[in-house]
Amino acid sequence: MKKERSRLVVIGNGMAGARLVEELLARGGGDRFTVTVFGDEPYGNYNRILLSSVLAGSHEPGDIFINPLAWYEANCVALRAGVRVAAVDPVRKVVTAADGTAEPYDKLVIATGSAPFIPRIAGLEDAAGRSREGIFAFRTLDDCSAITAYAARCRSAAVIGGGLLGLEAARGLLERGLTVHVVHLMGHLMELQLDARGGAILRQKLEGMGLQVHLGKSTREVVGEDGKGGVTGLRFEDGGTLECDMVVVAAGIRPNVALAREAGLLVERGIVVEDDLSCPGYPDVHAIGECAQHRGRVYGLVAPLWEQAEVLANRLSGREPRASYTGSKVSTKLKVMGVELAVMGIRERLEAGDEEITYEDPSRGVYKKLVVRDGRLAGAVLLGDASAAPVLLQSFDRGQDIGPDPAELLFPSSGASAPRSVLDLPDDAQICNCNGVSKGRIAYSARNGCRSLQAVCGATRAGTGCGGCRRDVQAILQDVLGEGGLIEDPAVHYYVPGVPLAKPDLVREIRRLGLRSVSSVFAALAGGREDAASKPGLASLLKTIWAGEYEDERDARFINDRVHANIQKDGTFSVVPRIYGGVTTPGELRRIADVAERHQARMIKITGGQRIDLLGIPKARLPQVWRELGMPSGHAYTKAFRTCKTCVGSDFCRYGVGDSTALGIAIERRFQGIESPHKMKLATAGCPRNCSEATTKDLGAVAIEGGRWELYVGGAAGSRVRKGDLLCVVEAHEEVLRLMGRFMQYYRENGKYLERTYDFVERIGIEKVRAVVVQDEEGIAARLDAAMEAAVDAYADPWGEANDPVHPLQFAQVLVRPRASGQGDGRDGREAPEEQVVAGEVR
Amino acid sequence: MPELTRSETPLRNLGPVDQIPPGEGRVFAIDGRNVAVFRSRDGRLFATEDTCPHRQGPLADGLLGGSVLVCPLHGFKFDLATGRPAGNDCRALTTYPVALSSRGDIELRLDPR
Ligand code: SRM
Ligand SMILES: Cc1cc2nc3c(=O)[nH]c(=O)nc-3n(C[C@H](O)[C@H](O)[C@H](O)COP(=O)(O)OP(=O)(O)OC[C@H]3O[C@@H](n4cnc5c(N)ncnc54)[C@H](O)[C@@H]3O)c2cc1C
Ligand code: SF4
Ligand code: FES
């Protein structure tokens, strides 16, 4: 039976409106409704909470979008971005937009949020009656952009309002280098969340960070220069003044209810809704979010509106037609200028029997307080250390009896040092520290159709930076989806996403069909579909399989490997010449200095790998820089053997028992440029004091008494820290070199692309690795040694391409075309080709 | 290529296509404006603005597969045929009409599509 779809209109494309649409679609609501969303802001839907981070400069505006315009398109949601609704007629069931268009509805959802409250202050307008320049609210992305643009030319700012929003604005401005004053009407900061003592401790902490706090100050006037638009300061009711170049008003919010009021809906502080989230008398009109008032309460945080969106989506989609919303228990965990804060319930004793327990450590900015009523938690404040929040929240939410010694609750079991599971973290905890993705966002995408790790990472960008959080993401997924809910994307077993074969099958097919180039692999094994992201992985594999017979296609390489240097944020490159074992000479240093000076390297830096990095070199200059350095490539840009760090060792150090320096140099000379699934970083240490950190390297050798060397593999001290596994103990330098080479070859053949040794060794198991590499149980040691020998012999310094480029324009930066002459070569007015293209090296 | 003949802006000849190795891109400065031109392995040409809307990554240094380009800095993807972002929220790239002439030259018009 095919039914006509009903028309759902949503007013407001903010946190609540967009969330409702997402929740509805996730419940199959797309089959019931055609959805039209009006949003006053000319964008897709973004995370308003993260505006604080945008202001502070830790996020770019582009980073905070939840659903881009394409999402609406893909889900057949008609988004009227930048179109304001001017009127609602709940009797004729039609809304009218500011552009005059009318949109009839069967169901209407009002999610207009709130607007900043601007108190009555003189001087908000300049002499000419225009809004004075330099005064801002802080609610929208546009507000945020305006503030940042203006702040760039200011030295000081005043924020009116010392609540959450005001402090967030202050933090952003502090981060931007301004002197920041917070002017607050009340006697202590954040009076909605904190009691006076908590407010005082917060103030002390924030002042320590450089914020100027002015309490009990009522602003009478914004002062500007006569005839000019801008701001010069504030004048207070008590006659005092304050100099500042700009003002941000964060004095509270007011629900956007004008539309509803004019439509004749019941409006008090917010738009009144029943437990079914509909407006009294109008069962087809709903309101959610900050504009709604439910059982007398208007919420100003996102958690309650998530719950509202879920209930309403359940009702509208027919999934749970009788779902009802009974209000939210407000418990919040916030970060105020980087200071943790969790609050729940009441913040002070209100009744005779109420008991308060407090703990404070003002020097650390820590303040904790419990309010207990009838043996249960009635409220809590945790400032500066919210580690007890998960436990308290649970107790608070469930109304549990808190036992004889409530104070214990303030300090989560300090004895047990068991690492805290991600599952204990609150929803707003940041899981992906590269892309700023919260636990809630991950769980949310899992609940809304992303059922594999790949899908979640694709949808949220979590785990797509350094990858260190992927285990946590996986754990959250597992938790949300439950047993059997998590599906494994078949692509996890593929060697690269674009060719549907696991590594062993891929290698077999490549050998069988004699595929020697990346393009031939796509043609033969991927239906002719090229996948850009799969190219470097295939190139690396083919090179390992075919060695000298590999057909090198340069476009399959990442830019670093096309120009043999590491690309940087501004498109220039870094040059790290090889300095074997970190041991250099005055002549070499002089040469490096000369080159750096001549080519104006933007920075010269001693790296963490014991060599020297020349940063900020334009691509076109690379060949010349290499020629002048006359040193081999340090391969600081590629998936290959990188460096071998050494310590001064037995020649100089009073503790040295092995010549780690000579060993390191020998290692580096032998393995330079050996490509591998991921980079390999090595170190040698002259004694177990381990000054070169050899136990946390991909491969490390540590000298021990008796002229022997311990060999470690699978160590890491990057995004993960892992102590390497002891592979074996050997006698001489030659032995170290041989076993290291054999391990490397084993890893080269069996490691997945971009799998570091710390994951590889863990996946294979150190016993198995030892059995193959040391005990030769599979009888392949000789073959591995020979393959490594061949790879070592085949090595050529890529910087040789300075004199022998693979393409005349390999290092070209910009090919300059002269101005249009207007003169063609006679054929249909076309311009003649230029004879000569200026390219390559800059002089 | 019909678009190439319709417009009023002059057709620019950027010279032989083999300036760009197959599957790569290069930047051309034309009247002071930088345009990235790409040549896919299957022989198509694409022209776009030369920097990434995300954080100004040099697009011509990206990896190209079919018409999809991966920016070298943070891996955002774009379909060069339309300029549209793929799987990210960036704005679309400006693209320019470009084609291969009968003599094997790259011909381009500077009016954005
Ligand atoms: C230059 C250097 C920092 C410094 O100034 O000291 C550096 C710079 C970069 N590191 Fe590193 N790392 C440097 C030592 C390290 C070390 C310490 C070491 O090697 O002893 C580590 C931890 C050890 C390790 O890798 O296990 C380290 C762990 C990383 C990681 C995380 C790897 C991991 O799997 O945990 C990355 C990201 C990656 O590889 O994907 C990374 C990536 C990078 C990149 C290449 C980021 C990039 O893709 O552009 C940085 C290049 C900057 C530039 O433009 O040149 N860098 N990096 C160091 C160069 C050493 C050298 O001479 O070659
Ligand atoms: C800087 C900042 C930091 C915050 N930090 C936190 C935090 O850490 N934790 C927390 O829980 N909450 C935080 N909040 C509060 C949270 O963002 C809000 O509670 C939430 O955005 C409310 O959602 P909403 O959909 O009701 O309103 P909004 O997100 O404001 O969305 C309403 C939308 O409706 C549009 N609109 C209004 N009228 C019309 C109309 N007539 N026609 C068409 N469109 C219209 C508006 O343009 C707006 O886009 C923060 C808020 C800000 C500003
Ligand atoms: S050099 Fe290493 S640690 Fe520093 S910013 Fe780059 S990747 Fe991160
Ligand atoms: S600059 Fe292009 S992806 Fe970041």
Q: How many CA within 13 A on the CB side of residue A749?
A: 20
Q: From the centroid of its chain, how far is CA A618?
A: 28
Residue A35 has pLDDT above 80, yes or no: yes
Same domain, A349 and A368: yes
Same domain, A390 and A269: no
CA A571 to centroid of ligand 1, rounded, Å: 18
Mean pLDDT of chain A: 89
Instruction: Give A834's pLDDT tier (boundaries 50, 70, 90).
Output: very low
CA A178 to centroid of ligand 1, rounded, Å: 33
Report A:47-76 residues touching B (Cβ under 8 A): 60, 62, 65, 68, 70
Does residue B13 sit at the A interface (CB-CB below 8 Å)? Answer: yes
Helices A622-629 and A586-598 pack at an angle, to 10 degrees, of: 160
Q: What is the pLDDT of residue A839?
A: 39
Among A283-292, A730-739, A826-835, B88-97, the least confident range: A826-835
CA A39 to centroid of ligand 4, rounded, Å: 28
Domain B12-108 falls in which CATH fold? Answer: Rieske Iron-sulfur Protein (2.102.10)
Q: What is the pLDDT of residue A319?
A: 87
Nearest to A531 among B29, B56, B65 (CB): B65
CA atoms of A148 and A248, how far apart (whole Å)? 11
Ligand located closest to A694 CA? 1
Instruction: Give A1's pLDDT tier (boundaries 50, 70, 90).
Output: very low
Percent of chain A exceeding pLDDT 90 equals 66
Residue A445 has pLDDT above 80, yes or no: yes
* Residue B92 DSSP symbol: P
Q: What is the pLDDT of residue A794?
A: 87
Q: What is the pLDDT of residue A486?
A: 74
Residue A453 has pLDDT above 60, yes or no: yes
Chain B residue numbers with beta carbons less than 8 Å from the beta carbon of A65 are 89
Average pLDDT estimate for A355-384: 90
Decide which of A513, A528, A557 is a domain's last residue: A557
Q: Which of A117, A49, A65, A56 is nearest to A332 (CA)?
A: A49
Helices A766-773 and A733-750 pack at an angle, to 10 degrees, of: 120
Instruction: Using DSSP, state whether A276 is helix, strand or coil.
Output: coil
CA atoms of A487 and A455, how far apart (whole Å)? 10
Q: Which helix (H) or strand (E) holds A434?
A: none
Can you give the residue range of the structural domain that contains A154? 135-251
Same domain, A389 and A522: no
Residue A484 has pLDDT above 90, yes or no: no
Q: Please report, for chain B, the start and end positions of each structural domain, with discontinuous segments joined by +.
A: 12-108
* Residue A131 DSSP symbol: B
Q: Which of A160, A159, A153, A188 is nearest to A171 (CA)?
A: A159
CB A203 within 8 A of CB A337: no
Q: Which of A27, A40, A26, A35 is nearest to A6 (CA)?
A: A35
Instruction: Give A494's pLDDT tier (boundaries 50, 70, 90).
Output: confident
Same domain, A441 and A584: no
pLDDT digits (tens, 9 = 90+) for A618-665: 999 999 999 999 999 999 999 999 999 999 989 899 989 999 999 999
User: Looking at the domain assignment, is residue A378 inside a domain?
Assistant: yes
Decide which of A534, A557, A580 is a domain's last residue: A557
pLDDT digits (tens, 9 = 90+) for A238-270: 999 999 999 999 999 999 999 999 999 999 999
Q: What is the pLDDT of residue A15?
A: 92
Strands A814-817 and A725-730: what pairing? unpaired
Q: What is the pLDDT of residue A455?
A: 83
Does residue B9 sit at the A interface (CB-CB below 8 Å)? Answer: no
CA atoms of A345 and A381, how far apart (whole Å)? 9
User: Looking at the domain assignment, is residue A799 inside a domain?
Assistant: no
Q: How many domains does chain A have?
A: 6
DSSP lists the bridge partners of residue A358 as A369
Chain A residue numbers with beta carbons less than 8 Å from the beta carbon of B23 are 519, 553-556
User: Which residues, other chains included, contact A706 with Cβ-Cβ below 8 Å and sequence gap of 6+?
Assistant: none
DSSP lists the bridge partners of residue A279 as A282
Instruction: List the residue whose alpha carbon is closest to atom 51 of ligand 1.
Output: A566
Q: What is the pLDDT of residue B1?
A: 43
Map tokens 């570091």 to a residue: A756
Same domain, A580 and A541: no
Residue A119 has pLDDT above 60, yes or no: yes
**Residue A28 φ/ψ, nearest 5 degrees:** 75, 15
Residue A821 has pLDDT above 50, yes or no: no
Report A:519-548 residues touching B (Cβ under 8 A): 519, 529-536
pLDDT digits (tens, 9 = 90+) for A202-215: 999 999 999 999 99
User: What is the ipTM metric for this complex?
Assistant: 0.73
Residue A830 has pLDDT above 60, yes or no: no
Q: What is the pLDDT of residue A427?
A: 86
Q: Which of B61, B13, B15 is nearest to B38 (CA)?
A: B61
User: Looking at the domain assignment, is residue A432 inside a domain?
Assistant: yes
Decide which of A753, A778, A793 is a domain's last residue: A793
User: Looking at the domain assignment, is residue A476 inside a domain?
Assistant: yes
Report the CATH number that the domain containing residue A309 is assigned in CATH.
3.50.50.60
* Residue A441 DSSP symbol: H
Q: What is the pLDDT of residue A483?
A: 64
Average pLDDT estimate for A560-583: 96
Same domain, A296 and A371: no
Same domain, A737 and A611: yes
Q: What is the pLDDT of residue A818?
A: 59
CA atoms of A694 and A716, how far apart (whole Å)? 10
Instruction: Using DSSP, state whether A260 is helix, strand or coil.
Output: helix
Same domain, A552 and A573: no
Does residue A467 sit at the B interface (CB-CB below 8 Å)? Answer: no
Residue B9 has pLDDT above 90, yes or no: no
Same domain, A485 and A443: yes
User: Which residues, other chains included, contact A271 with Cβ-Cβ below 8 Å and sequence gap of 6+?
Assistant: A110, A255, A257, A260, A265, A279, A287, A291, A292, A293
Q: From the centroid of its chain, how far is CA A718?
A: 17
Task: Cite the beta strand spans of A491-640 per DSSP E.
Answer: 494-496, 499-502, 566-567, 573-575, 603-606, 612-617
**Residue A8 φ/ψ, nearest 5 degrees:** -110, 130
pLDDT digits (tens, 9 = 90+) for A290-336: 999 999 999 998 888 989 999 999 999 998 899 999 998 777 777 77
Which tokens is A275 given? 């437990």
CA A276 to centroid of ligand 2, rounded, Å: 22
Q: How many CA within 13 A on the CB side of residue A761?
A: 24
Q: Which of A494, A500, A419 is nearest to A754 (CA)?
A: A494
Residue A228 has pLDDT above 80, yes or no: no
Instruction: List the residue whose alpha carbon is closest to atom 27 of ligand 2.
Output: A113
Residue A91 has pLDDT above 90, yes or no: yes
The verdict on a CB contact (< 8 Å) between B65 and A813 is: no
Chain B residue numbers with beta carbons less than 8 Å from the beta carbon of A819 are 31
Residue predicted with more confidence, A235 or A129: A235
CB A421 within 8 A of CB A471: no
Q: Which helix (H) or strand (E) holds A487?
A: none
Ligand located closest to A465 CA? 1
Identify from A555, A617, A806 which residue to disrupt to test chain B contact, counting B C-beta atoms within 10 A and taking the largest count.
Answer: A555
Strands A494-496 and A437-438: what pairing? unpaired
pLDDT digits (tens, 9 = 90+) for A761-804: 999 999 999 999 999 999 999 999 999 999 999 899 999 999 99
A413 to A207, A387, A417, A523, B99: CA distances (angstroms): 31, 10, 8, 59, 69
Residue A176 has pLDDT above 70, yes or no: yes
pLDDT digits (tens, 9 = 90+) for A676-711: 999 999 999 999 999 999 999 999 999 998 889 999
Residue A179 has pLDDT above 50, yes or no: yes
CB A293 within 8 A of CB A271: yes
Same domain, A499 and A488: no
Residue B5 has pLDDT above 80, yes or no: no
Same domain, A283 and A304: yes
Residue B4 has pLDDT above 60, yes or no: no
CA atoms of A543 and A540, how far apart (whole Å)? 5
Residue A166 has pLDDT above 80, yes or no: yes
Instruction: Give A125's pLDDT tier (boundaries 50, 70, 90).
Output: confident
Nearest to B29 among A60, A554, A814 (CB): A814
Identify from A817, A827, A831 which residue to disrupt to test chain B contact, counting B C-beta atoms within 10 A and taking the largest count.
Answer: A817
Q: What is the pLDDT of residue A622?
A: 97
CB A303 within 8 A of CB A396: no
Mean pLDDT of chain B: 90
DSSP lists the bridge partners of residue A728 as A711
CA atoms of A839 and A372, how far apart (whole Å)? 76
* Residue A537 DSSP symbol: H
Instruction: Using DSSP, state whether B15 is helix, strand or coil.
Output: strand
pLDDT digits (tens, 9 = 90+) for A185-202: 999 999 988 999 999 999
Residue A68 has pLDDT above 90, yes or no: no
User: Looking at the domain assignment, is residue A122 inside a domain?
Assistant: no
CA atoms of A172 and A179, how far apart (whole Å)? 11
Average pLDDT estimate for B18-22: 95
Q: Residue A261's CB: how many other CB atoms inside 10 A?
A: 11
Q: Which helix (H) or strand (E) holds A142?
A: helix A141-151
Helices A453-460 and A470-481 pack at an angle, to 10 degrees, of: 110
Among A60-74, A346-360, A387-401, A702-716, the least confident range: A387-401
CA B91 to centroid of ligand 3, rounded, Å: 27
Which tokens is A362 given? 């003002």
A688 to A37, A645, A683, A734: CA distances (angstroms): 66, 15, 13, 20
A457 to A48, A433, A843: CA distances (angstroms): 22, 13, 45
Residue A826 has pLDDT above 70, yes or no: no
Q: From the centroid of its chain, how far is CA A742?
A: 38
Among A17-26, A124-133, A229-238, A623-632, the least confident range: A124-133
Q: Residue A542's CB: how many other CB atoms inside 10 A?
A: 24
Same domain, A376 and A350: yes
Residue A168 has pLDDT above 60, yes or no: yes
pLDDT digits (tens, 9 = 90+) for A135-144: 999 999 999 9
